[in-house]
Chain A
Amino acid sequence: MAQVELKQVRKTYPNGAEAIFGVDMQIDDGELIVFVGPSGCGKSTLLRMVAGLESVTSGDILIGDRVINDVSPSERDVAMVFQNYALYPHMSVRGNMSYGLKNRKMDKAEIERRITDAAKMLKIDKFLDRQPNQLSGGQRQRVAMGRAIVRNPQVFLFDEPLSNLDAKLRVQMRIEIKKLQRRMNVTSIYVTHDQTEAMTLADRLAVINEGRVEQMGAPMELYSNPRTLFVASFIGSPAINLIPAKFDGTSLIAGDMALAGFSDLPTDKDLVLGVRPDVLTVSDEGQFSINVDLVEQHGGENLIYGSLPSMVSDAGDVQEICLKASQSLLPGLDEKMTLAFNPEDAFVFEKDTGARLK
């Protein structure tokens, strides 16, 4: 158990490509941090740098109070769960779990004890003598986790461990990982591109974009108080509605709509209005109206997609608006709906820099 600290960590590949631009981060003991971002944003690279599978170009990575930049992966006291499990195909489950311990010259009885404990915890004790190719995807995932657990490491690293599983199993394993991490109370870093996974697992989230940490904080903080356009658009499902707008000194102008309730915004810049689908309400006194294009019924709620008639881009694309409504609200296609929102709940971003203005 330990803290992990990243100080101005950078990564430049030998061919000059820059992957990570100075990341600072403090991860507390026992915390589960999720790195989330689109593919190619550098989240896996950052994780692999902590694991020791990628070198650190500059800056320091600390586990506990030890700088581990030049420590070999096996001596960093970290364990990693890979996306494709990376089980040794020719070894039994027991062999897979014991390999790392044998390399550490651990006592046989102790190895056996740890394997039995971990196998019980993960409910794989019946499969200990099977080969990986005789196991299902979910079972392999458990073995991969077992291999990490028996090491009793200071830090767990998860590299998109659930992305090869089907949707149902993914939810189930997600819950189990969370429970397991709570119980073992081991500092963990978890990489994913799935924002639902990120929101539900994380103690704190780090949203990573193009090699930089855009924002780091508790999931709900990022959801309700995003610092940039990127964070707002990445976090939340269904995604936030983003509407290009301008400020004329008194109200926000989007297409032919003039939205009141905004102030202190620059008048000379292109802005983006961000409204979450769940803060929109249907109201006769609404600020704008949409034509319904599609209704998705999710059971407990309906997602209503509609277009803003006044806002058609030069290319002919319509501005889509999504609204989260109760299951009882079921408008017909092309029906006109008037929507309202409280300006307090909306965000305004500067279009060019992505910075949040309100």
Chain B
Amino acid sequence: MERVPISTHIILILGALFMTLPVWVAFATSTHAPETILREGLQFWPGPHFFETYNEVLFVEGGVMKKVTATTMLKNSMILGVGFAIGKVIISMLAAYAIVYFRFRLGVPLFWVIFMTLLLPLEVRIIPSYEVVANMGLLDTKAGLIIPLIASATGTFFFRQFFKSVPDELLEAARLDGASAWGFFIDILVPLSKTMIAAILIIMFVVGWNQYLWPLIMTTKEENYTLVIGIKQIYQVLNEGGELPQFQKAFALTILATLPPVLVVLIFQRWFVKGLVESEK
């Protein structure tokens, strides 16, 4: 292997430290008693209260919130992340399929309309979206949390590009083989898009997991909180004062919130990279 100059290593190590140190500090601090943190500030080395803190956060009602445990919030986040990702993949695949394979009037302008929504952040349409969901009676439901978010310009764009690179002869061969429009989609396109689907699922899971504003205005009951909302709420509790601030729990919750996306990316990274770089059809 080629010898890499030592300076390269130093830069990389510094970069890695810079990125991971805050996470480490959060973890280390979460294993200390609240008094220690209040007295001495952030901690760089693990303390003796790991099991106590995490047990309380995860399993004891009233440990972090008044009613729910972190386990419930983890579950809510999981449902949001997975539903969000799967919904986006399904909707954007179907949209891209229609745009690429069906010659209908205004197909191209419609695509550009979809594409242009990429430029608009969720915040722009958050009031009207809220209004629609509220009128449908979906406030504080999982469906209301997920469905308004699953239309995806990014996903549609990626799948459109991918479908365009699939040779036309495959469609023609399938037509001669008697495949219906639906049959071609399910039997040929979906299996061909496997790695692409995996990549988009992963990206979208992380995006869904990290949703903050929408779950915040959509959920009013504690049992529907996601982890990200939970973190926000716990800081609010801290600020209201009275008791001893439970910083270690806030840090523990943060660590818990980062774990699933990290695990998903680690486990699926081979697929993920393949999906992004693969050109073989």
Q: Residues of A with Cβ closer than 8 Å to B?
A: 51-53, 72-75, 78-80, 82-84, 86-91, 99-100, 103-104, 133, 147
Which residues from A are CB-within-8-Å of B179?
A: 74, 99, 103
Residues of A within 8 A of B120 (CB): none
Task: Report which of A72, A75, A86 forms a contact with B173, defined as CB distance below 8 A.
Answer: A86
User: Of all chain B residues, which has the CB nearest A80?
Assistant: B176
List the 9 closest pairs (A to B, CB-CB), nearest first: A100-B177, A74-B178, A86-B169, A103-B178, A86-B173, A90-B191, A82-B169, A73-B175, A73-B176
B35 located at the interface, meaning its Cβ lies under 8 Å from any Cβ of chain A in the complex: no
Asked if A88 and B178 make an inter-chain contact with CB atoms under 8 angstroms apart, the answer reads: no
Smallest CB–CB gap between A71 and chain B, Å? 12
Q: Which residues on the B side are within 8 Å of A91 (C-beta)?
A: 191
Report 20 cross-chain contacts, Cβ distance below 8 Å, ordered by A residue. A53-B172, A53-B175, A53-B176, A72-B175, A74-B177, A74-B178, A74-B179, A75-B178, A79-B176, A82-B173, A83-B169, A86-B167, A86-B172, A88-B173, A88-B187, A88-B188, A99-B174, A99-B179, A100-B176, A100-B178
Binary interface profile of B, 182-211, with partner A (CB < 8 Å = 1, else 0)? Answer: 010001100110100000000000000000
B260-281: CB near A (< 8 Å → 1, else 0) gives 0000000000000000000011
Q: A84–B167 contact, CB under 8 A? A: yes
Contacts from B to A (Cβ < 8 Å): 167, 169-170, 172-179, 183, 187-188, 191-192, 194, 280-281
Given contacts A86-B167, A88-B188, A89-B192, contact A104 B172 (CB under 8 A): no
Q: How far is the CA of A324 from the CA of B261 in the complex (A)?
A: 74
Q: How many A-B residue pairs have CB under 8 A?
A: 62
On chain A, the residues within 8 Å of B191 by CB distance are 90-91
- Least CB distance, B224 to chain A, in whole angstroms: 40
Return the chain A residue nearest B175 by Cβ. Answer: A73
Q: Which residues on the B side are within 8 Å of A104 (C-beta)?
A: 178
Q: How distant is the Cα of A100 from the Cα of B178 in the complex, in angstroms?
A: 6
Residues of A contacting B175 with CB < 8 Å? 52-53, 72-74
A74 to chain B: closest residue by CB? B178
- Closest-CB distance, B8 to chain A (whole angstroms): 37
Q: Name the A residues within 8 Å of B174 (CB-CB).
A: 88, 99
Cβ–Cβ contact A74 & B176, under 8 A: yes
B188's nearest neighbour on chain A, judged by CB, is A88
Determine the residue in chain A with the shortest Cβ distance to B172: A53
Question: Which residue of chain B lies nearest to A133 when distances are taken between CB atoms in the complex?
Answer: B280
Choose among A52, A78, A79, A103 the residue with the greatest number of B CB atoms under 10 Å from its CB.
A103
Residues of A within 8 A of B176 (CB): 51-53, 73-74, 78-80, 100
Most buried by A among B173, B178, B179, B192: B173
Chain A residues contacting B280 (CB-CB under 8 Å) are: 89, 133
Contact of A89 among B172, B177, B281 (CB under 8 A): B281
